[in-house]
Amino acid sequence: MKSPRHFLGMKGVSLPFLIDVLDTAQDYYDAARREHIKLTHLRGKTIINVFFESSTRTRTSFEIAGKRLSADVINISTASSSVTKGETLLDTVKTLEAMNPDAVIIRHSASGAPHYVAERLDTAVINAGDGAHEHPTQALLDAYTMRKHCGRLHGLVIAICGDVLHSRVARSNAILHAALGNEVRFVGPRTLLPPAEVFGARAFDSLEAGLAGADVVMVLRIQRERLEGERRIASLREYSRHFGISERSLRAANPNAIVMHPGPMNRGVEISSDVADGPRSLVLEQVEAGVAVRMALLKHMLATEAAA
Ligand code: NCD
C-alpha cells in the first residue's frame, strides 16, 4: 500500500493504508509491552515537532514514537520560538525546512494551518491538531483501541458526547467511522453540536436516547477556552447534570460499552471520576496505543526500504 506524502486529515485517506498502519501498530504495541528495544527504521531521520498550541499527550507521544524508531526528534513550542518576535507561520516552517528535516509535525489553533504549510513545503507534514478542524492521529489511535476492545471496526454504534462543535477529535473520528460504515452519533446540547448530516452522523440532544445501544461512548472535553464569550451553555453545573457521563447515564448504553476520552479530562464536568477510573474506561490505554500508532504512521511514511 502506497503511503501518503502528508497526513493532514481523515478526509480522503485510504482505508487500506489506515488498516496497514493499525496492523503495524499492533506489532509495536505488543513488543513495547514485552520489552523496550529501540528499533532502527528511522535511523538518520530528523523529525521536528512544531506546537503552536499546548499539548501533553500528543507532543510527548510523537516524540517517544520517533525516538523508539531511532529518529532524532526536535521540539519547538511557540512560547520559546521566534513566533513571539512576530515571525509568520510560513517563515517559521520555511526556516525549519532549511535544516532538512524529514517530517514536520504541526499543531496550530487555525483550521487548515497544516494544509497551508504542506502546500508550500517539500517536507512531509503531519497534522497534530488544527483548530476545531481535524486531529487525524487521535482518530487513528481511537480506532486502534476500538478494534482491540470491540474486536472489529464495523457494525459499531459510536456515541460522541459533549462539545462536538469545537472538537477536532470528533470531526476526525466522525469522518473515519462514516467511511467505515459505523453508526456515528453526536450527543449533547444543540448549541454544542455541528450539523451532524455533514459528517454522516445523527444528532441527539438527550443523553439517554443518544447512548441507547452504544458500543463506544466517546466523551469530549468542554473546551472552555474556545467557549469563552459564546454563551452556549448556562453553566458547567447545568451541563454536567444533563450531559455528564456517569455510571447512571451509562446504563442506557450496551452493557459491554467501552468509554473513551482523548484527554485532558475535566472530571466532574463531562465525566465522573467513577467512570473515568472505572473498568470500562480506556483513557490510559488510548495514550499507550497513541505511541504505537504514531510509530506505525511514521514508519509507513518515512522509513526507507533498506532500513531495518
Ligand atoms: C485533544 C486536542 O488537543 O485536540 N487532546 C488530545 O490531543 N488528546 C482534545 C482537547 O483538547 O480536548
For residue 308, the model assigns a pLDDT of 41
Mutate to test the pocket of ligand 1, among 53, 135, 160, 226 (most ligand atoms within 8 A of CB): 135
Supply the pLDDT for residue 226.
76
CB of 135 sitting under 6 A from ligand 1: yes
pLDDT score of 307: 44
pLDDT of residue 230: 80
Q: What pLDDT is stored for residue 82 in this prediction?
A: 79
DSSP the chain: -PPPS-B--STT--HHHHHHHHHHHHHHHHHHHH--PPP-TTTT-EEEEEESS--SHHHHHHHHHHHHTT-EEEEEEGGGSGGGGT--HHHHHHHHHTT--SEEEEEESSTTHHHHHHHH-SSEEEEEEETTTB-HHHHHHHHHHHHHHHS-SSS-EEEEES--TT-HHHHHHHHHHHHTT-EEEEES-GGG---GGGGT-EEES-HHHHHTT-SEEEE----HHHHTTT--SS-HHHHHHHH-B-TTGGGGS-TT-EEE--S---BTTTB-HHHHTSTTB-HHHHHHHHHHHHHHHHHHHH--TT--
The ligand 1 atom at the shortest distance from the C-alpha of residue 53 is 3
Distance CA 136, CA 168 (A): 8
Q: Is 46 in the pocket of ligand 1 (CB under 6 A)?
A: no
- Residue 263 near ligand 1, beta carbon < 6 Å: yes
Expressed in angstroms and rounded, the spacing between residue 305 Cα and the centre of ligand 1 is 33
The pTM is what? 0.96
The pLDDT value recorded for residue 179 is 97
At residue 305, the pLDDT reads 61
Distance from the alpha carbon of residue 60 to the mean position of ligand 1, in angstroms: 13
Nearest CA, atom 12, ligand 1: 221
What tens digit of pLDDT does each residue of 58-111 get? 999 999 999 999 999 999 988 777 777 888 999 999 999 999 999 999 999 999
Distances (CA, A) of 140 to 4, 96, 172, 294: 15, 27, 9, 9
Q: What's the pLDDT at 139? A: 98
Whether ligand 1 lies within 6 angstroms of the CB of 57 is answered as: yes
User: Measured in angstroms, how far is the CA atom of residue 223 from the centroid of ligand 1?
Assistant: 9
Q: Is the CB of 168 under 6 A from ligand 1?
A: yes
* CA 110 to the chain's CA centroid: 16
Report angle CA 259, 265, 266 to the nearest 5 degrees: 120
169 lines ligand 1 (CB under 6 A): yes
Q: Is the CB of 13 under 6 A from ligand 1?
A: no
Q: Which of 134, 138, 160 to mutate to test the pocket of ligand 1 (most atoms within 8 A of CB)?
A: 138
| pLDDT at residue 51, as a whole number | 95
The one-letter code for the residue type at 306 is: A
pLDDT of residue 227: 78
Q: Could you tell which of 58, 108, 145, 166 is best to mutate to test the pocket of ligand 1, judged by most ligand atoms within 8 Å of the CB?
A: 58
Tell me how far apart the alpha carbons of residues 52 and 55 are, in angstroms, rounded to a whole number.
9
- Residues of the chain with confidence (pLDDT) below 70: 305-308
- d(Cα 101, Cα 74) in Å, to the nearest integer? 10
Tell me if 145 CB under 6 Å of ligand 1: no
